[in-house]
Amino acid sequence: MPQSPKIIAERILKFFDKLEDRIRAALSHHPVPYALIGGFGIVLFWRGVWHTADLFPFLTGPMSILISAVVLLATGLFVSFFIGETIVVSGLKHEKKLTEKTEAEVQTETNIIIELHRELHEIRTKLEEISKRLKGPGAN
Closest C-alpha to 54, from 22, 96, 41, 46: 46
* Position 68 pLDDT exceeds 70: yes
Residue 97: the pLDDT is 62
User: What separation in angstroms does the CA of 51 have from each of 46, 47, 56, 75?
Assistant: 9, 6, 10, 24
- What per-residue confidence (pLDDT) applies to 81? 72
Overall average pLDDT of the 68-95 stretch: 75
**Could you tell me the pLDDT band of residue 95, with boundaries at 50, 70 and 90?**
low
* Predicted local distance difference test score (pLDDT) of residue 78: 79
- What would the mean pLDDT of 115-119 be, rounded to a whole number? 93
Nearest-angstrom CA–CA distance, 43 and 40: 5
What is the pLDDT at residue 12?
A: 94
The pLDDT value recorded for residue 91 is: 67
H-type helices in the chain, by residue range? 5-27, 31-53, 61-75, 78-82, 85-92, 103-135
| Nearest residue to 97 (alpha-carbon basis) of 38, 52, 31, 2 | 31
Tell me what pLDDT residue 108 has: 86
87 pLDDT exceeds 70?
A: no
Single-letter amino acid, residue 18: K
- CA atoms of 130 and 123, how far apart (whole Å): 10
Cα–Cα distance measured from residue 33 to residue 26, given in angstroms and rounded to the nearest whole number: 11
